Amino acid sequence: MFKHIATSLLFSLAALAQDIVYTPIHNATTIYGTWSSGSGGVKTGPGFANPADRTFTYPNTTGISYSFTEDGFYEIARYRYTSNGSHPLCITGVMNWCHGTYQLMPNGSIIMSPFGDGFQQIQDACAAVSKFIETYNDTEYYTAWTIFQDPVLGYQLILDQYDGTPLAQQNLVTTSPDMLPTQNLFNVTKTASSDLAVSAGTRTLEWSFSSIAGLTTAVVAAGMASFAL
């Protein structure tokens, strides 16, 4: 009998390693809707990016926002600053927007495949060209996602990046996703005549907020208006 229990235990552990079972521990509510970190200054949908002419509206605070529809579409809006350790005045600001289709994998990971009209704006206080726009078309892989209910903040989404480091936790802003139309929105005609410096190159950006994850949580918990990067 003991052997039988041990075997079934082993079997269930093996099953656990392969397939995520969606329970309230894994997701206290559905992932569908719009999520935003900190004070919610950064949000997907109209008001952040205009992919037709590749422009951004700068929010008042930095942060990240993710939206998911029930039928497999996602959108991401991100704004962050990084300071330069050796040159404290050389602050880099990055605005990033993209959308596409996502898949919730059986092992609990998420794969997000972009439509190809994603873009980002880099502002480098010390670069020769202080402001430029470039294509952003990276497929993003998240190893895990968790939704828990905070007694004060409500539902919180945590996405773990490819290397396992969690992104800043995000509040559920709306249960219906707030998104731009779910198709390629890049207007080639218009952008060709634009005076923005467009670079075809892509650069690797790590959207890692891990180093300040604890701080972010503390700031959010304290009810402060923004989270500083």
Ligand X SMILES: *[C@@H]1O[C@H](CO)[C@@H](O)[C@H](O)[C@H]1NC(C)=O
Kindly list the residues in this chain that would bind ligand X in the complex (CB under 6 A). Answer: 22, 24, 27, 30-31, 52, 57, 59-60, 84, 86-87, 90, 104-105, 107, 109, 113-114, 116, 126, 137, 139, 187, 189-190
Q: Is 214 helix (H, G, I), strand (E, B) or coil?
A: helix
Our CB check for ligand X shows the closer of 1 and 188 to be: 188
DSSP output for 64-84: EEEEE-TTSEEEEEEEEEE--
Our CB check for ligand X shows the closer of 160 and 209 to be: 160
Question: Least distance (Å) from ligand X to the CB of residue 60?
Answer: 4
Percentages (nearest 5) of helix, strand, coil residues in the chain: 15, 35, 50
Place of tokens 């329970």: 23
Helices (H) and strands (E) in the chain, counts: 3, 14
Question: Least distance (Å) from ligand X to the CB of residue 71?
Answer: 12
DSSP output for 81-126: EE--SSSTT--EEEEEEEEEEEEE-TTS-EEEEE-S--EEEEEETT
Our CB check for ligand X shows the closer of 7 and 194 to be: 194
Question: Least distance (Å) from ligand X to the CB of residue 48?
Answer: 8
Our CB check for ligand X shows the closer of 6 and 169 to be: 169
Residue whose C-beta lies closest to ligand X: 116
- Distance (Å, whole) CA 155 – CA 100: 24
Question: Least distance (Å) from ligand X to the CB of residue 218?
Answer: 24
- Distance (Å, whole) CA 43 – CA 40: 7
Question: Least distance (Å) from ligand X to the CB of residue 68?
Answer: 8
Our CB check for ligand X shows the closer of 7 and 22 to be: 22
